Chain A
Amino acid sequence: MIGLQTVYFLIGAMFLAFAVLSITDRTNPKRFGNAIFWGLIALSLIGGTWLGDFANGLIVLAVAGIATFGWLGRGAAEVGEEQRVSFGDRYGDRLFLPILIVLLTAVIGTLLFLYVPPLAALGLFAANRETLVLLCVGVLLALATLYVWLKPPVLAPLQEGRRLMDAVGWAAVLPLMLAAFGVVLKDAGVGDLIGDSVGGIIPSGMIFPAVAAFGLGMALFTILTGNAFAAFPIMASAIAVPLLLVEHGGDPAVVGAIGMLAGFCGTLMTPMAANFNLVPASLLELKDRNAVIKAQIGTAVPMLAINILFIWIFAFPWHTN
């Protein structure tokens, strides 16, 4: 059965190749920093399962140190813009096909392996991991197609992948750091501390203030921790369960589902949600690190208000409102 470990080996091999190729990139003044950085990520992906928590923690500290001291750089592109445009004119719209190979392998493959009984019965992929595994399969199929069709230099896909990865830089790993921070907060009992103090200041007896405090609290704690999953248990114990469900008899499915979505409005507004907000800014090579957040605020604020109203309207019987 193919599961996550296989996928980690594949991606780890990719990062290992990025590390080795970094060393040979003389256009990058900080090439050894890049090599060590991507090498450590490769080590975590390939060996993390067996290294033990302490060794993995040392990898985390080393990776963070390289980023903090600014030891990551970028080399020059192998192929300039002019050359790309002329390639584009030569190969035409068929260049869209390899992307379609990746997307369709993942989409159609998932549907086939989930819903066609004979294929599903093979049990080829670990449960709930079909799409991720098939995404990798799609990538390999697309690369095979590209080799046959364009006959590029053998290392070209890895060099071009490394070029994009270097553009993202340490931001690629920040989401993992933030997830780790969330776990530390939880294990240190910070969630309960906050929950206890917030729960005490909500006036009891009225529904709407409690609903608003729950929705705003979900968004605020998501902004602080970058993760609505971390905010939900805190706000559930502080407000949702004691006030909305027990005192006012709200529908738990509505409170839970829409409360989480109120938290997602916070995700749209915080640099702490690095993989959604900071990583695309570096991937698109934007100068303003917060440009994506700025583009999202105009949707996130009204959606937060709408979610609070939806909980109020849908979770409580009309006569109590």
Chain B
Amino acid sequence: MPEAEVVNYWPLLGIPIIVIGFVLRFNPMFVVVAASLATGFLAGWDVHQVISSLGKAFNDNRLIVIPWIVLPVIGMLERYGLQHRARLLIIRMKAATVGGLLIVYLLYRQIISAIGLHTTAGHPQTVRPLVAPMAVAAAERQADLDEDGIEKIKAQAAATDNIGLFFGEDIFFAIGSILVIQSTLETYGYQLSPLNLAMWAIPTAIAAFIVHSSRLLMLDRRLGRLPQAGGVR
């Protein structure tokens, strides 16, 4: 960069726009598009360039919507009572607790992600139809829950899916994040093999299993101290 050139710091304003928009609880779609447009204009782009850049990035990331393809199957099964069956299944397993159930799912999610099959599970694929209703059924047997309590259990089911995914997927060497690390460090002259990078995801995966499982066991203990549910249905 020639010394005379003045660095344009204005595009940095896009980030506070995002933060303020989210804090003030504006519609996130509006906030994100406004911040994108502002960043582009402040960088000195013209209207055509700003809109094209948004369009190209949107188009290149369409991969993100693929898991929604399962919705017709999930919706049909719900129509015919799947969530009801999922609840009954847990009620029949007398020893099942919400913590125990979610620990089993956490391990499954980590393993399935570590072998590259991370897209076979997820919020639409497994959490909404199976894990969340089962978790709620188990928790309701452990304690009397109000609506707020049920929301927290469902949120914990979704959270467990995320944690299993994030701290499992990097063990698989052909995943996007490993390629980002590899190509970034390569520009600085460090040649790394994906397998070497993937190996170093293992200690964190084990630690995440221990940390999150402990929290789930604590959830079981907390539910055990609440007033008991009125008999088994």
A residues near B, CB below 8 A?
4, 7-8, 10-11, 14, 41, 44-45, 48-49, 51-61, 63-64, 67-68, 70, 78-79, 84-93, 95-96, 98-99, 102-103, 106-107, 110, 128, 131-132, 135-136, 139, 142-143, 146, 150, 152, 156-165, 170, 172-185, 187-190, 193-194, 224-225, 228-229, 232-233, 236, 241, 245, 252-254, 256-261, 264, 267-268, 271-272, 274-281, 283-284, 286-288, 291-292, 294-296, 298-299, 302-303, 306-307, 310, 314
Chain A CB within 8 A of B124 CB:
yes
Pairwise interchain contact A280-B123, C-beta atoms closer than 8 A:
yes
Q: A181-B36, A299-B159 are in contact. Are A78 and B58 (CB under 8 A)?
A: no
B159 contacts which of A85, A96, A184, A295 (Cβ < 8 Å)?
Answer: A295
| B31-71 interface code vs A (CB 8 A; 1 in, 0 out) | 01101100110110100101111111111111111111111
Contact A78 B28 (CB under 8 A): no
6 intermolecular pairs with C-beta atoms under 8 Å apart: A11-B65, A91-B81, A103-B126, A181-B35, A193-B12, A291-B154
Instruction: Identify which of B57, B84, B89 contacts A184 (C-beta below 8 A).
Output: B57
Residue of A nearest to B130 (CB): A99
Q: Is B100 an interface residue (CB 8 A)?
A: no
Which residues does chain B contribute within 8 Å of A67, judged by CB atoms? 27, 29-30
List chain A residues, Cβ under 8 A from B67: 135
Chain B residues with CB under 8 Å of chain A are: 7, 9, 11-12, 14-15, 18-19, 22, 27-30, 32-33, 35-36, 39-40, 42-43, 45, 48, 50-86, 88-89, 112, 116-117, 119-121, 123-130, 132, 151-152, 154-159, 161-163, 166-167, 170, 174, 176-178, 180-182, 184-185, 188, 190, 192, 196-201, 203-204, 207-208, 211-212, 215
Residues of chain A within 8 A of B117, CB atoms compared: 106-107, 110, 131
State which of B12, B77, B166, B177 has its C-beta within 8 Å of the C-beta of A229: B177
User: Which chain B residues border A4 with CB–CB below 8 Å?
Assistant: 63
Q: Are A48 and B59 in contact (CB under 8 A)?
A: yes
- A306–B62 CA distance with the chains assembled, in angstroms: 34
How far, in Å, is A108 (CB) from chain B's closest CB? 10
Known A-B contacts A53-B52, A95-B80; A193 and B7 likewise in contact (beta carbons under 8 Å): yes
Q: A232-B184, A261-B201 are in contact. Are A299 and B54 (CB under 8 A)?
A: no
Q: Verify A175–B64 contact, CB threshold 8 A.
A: yes
C-alpha gap A90/B80 in the complex (Å): 9
In the complex, how many angstroms separate the beta carbon of A94 from the nearest chain B beta carbon? Answer: 9
Flag if B69 contacts A89 (CB, 8 Å).
no
With A253-B200, A307-B204 as contacts: A188 and B40 at CB distance below 8 Å: yes
Pair A160/B79 contact, Cβ less than 8 Å: yes
Contacts of A59 in B (CB 8 A): 55, 58
Whether A190 and B11, one on each chain, are in contact in the complex, defined by CB atoms closer than 8 angstroms, is: yes
With a cutoff of 8 Å between Cβ atoms, the chain B residues found around residue A8 in the complex are 62
Task: Contact check, A236 vs B188: say whether CB atoms are below 8 A apart.
Answer: yes
Contacts of A132 in B (CB 8 A): 63, 66, 119
Q: Is the CB of A292 within 8 A of B75?
A: no
Known: A184-B54, A292-B155. A189 touches B215 (CB 8 A): no
Among A54, A180, A288, the residue within 8 A (CB) of B48 is A54
Contacting pair A254 B124 (CB below 8 A): no
A272 touches B18 (CB 8 A): yes
Nearest B residue to A134 via CB reads B120
- Shortest C-beta distance, B22 to chain A (Å), equals 6
**Docked-complex contact B51 and A57, CB < 8 angstroms:** yes
Query: What is the bound-complex CA distance between A287 and B112, given in angstroms?
Result: 30
Q: Which residues of B contact A135 (CB under 8 A)?
A: 66-67, 69-70, 119-120
Check if B75 sits within 8 Å of A11, measured CB to CB. Answer: no
Contacts of B22 in A (CB 8 A): 271-272
Q: Which residue of B lies closest to A165 (CB)?
A: B71
CA distance A307 to B81 in the complex (A): 43
With contacts A55-B55, A260-B180, A280-B127 taken as known, whether A160 is within 8 angstroms of B27 at the C-beta atoms is no
Cβ A190 vs Cβ B112 within 8 A: no
Q: Please give, as numbers and ranges, the residues of chain A lying within 8 Å of B56 by CB-CB distance.
A: 53, 56-57, 183
- Given A52-B55, A184-B50, A292-B162: 14 more A-B contacts, CB < 8 Å: A57-B55, A68-B27, A84-B79, A92-B85, A98-B73, A107-B117, A135-B119, A136-B69, A162-B75, A188-B39, A256-B184, A258-B201, A261-B201, A280-B161
- Complex: how many Å from CA A93 to CA B81? 10
B94 to chain A, nearest CB (A): 17
With A150-B80, A292-B158 given, is the CB distance from A64 to B185 under 8 Å? no
CB distance from B185 to the nearest CB of A (A): 5
Instruction: Check B155 against A264 for contact (C-beta < 8 Å).
Output: no
Q: Are A253 and B197 in contact (CB under 8 A)?
A: yes
B79: A residues at CB distance < 8 A: 78-79, 84, 87, 152, 156, 160
Q: A131-B116, A272-B22 are in contact. Are A157 and B76 (CB under 8 A)?
A: yes
Considering the chains assembled together, what is the distance between the CA atoms of A294 and B165 in angstroms?
A: 18
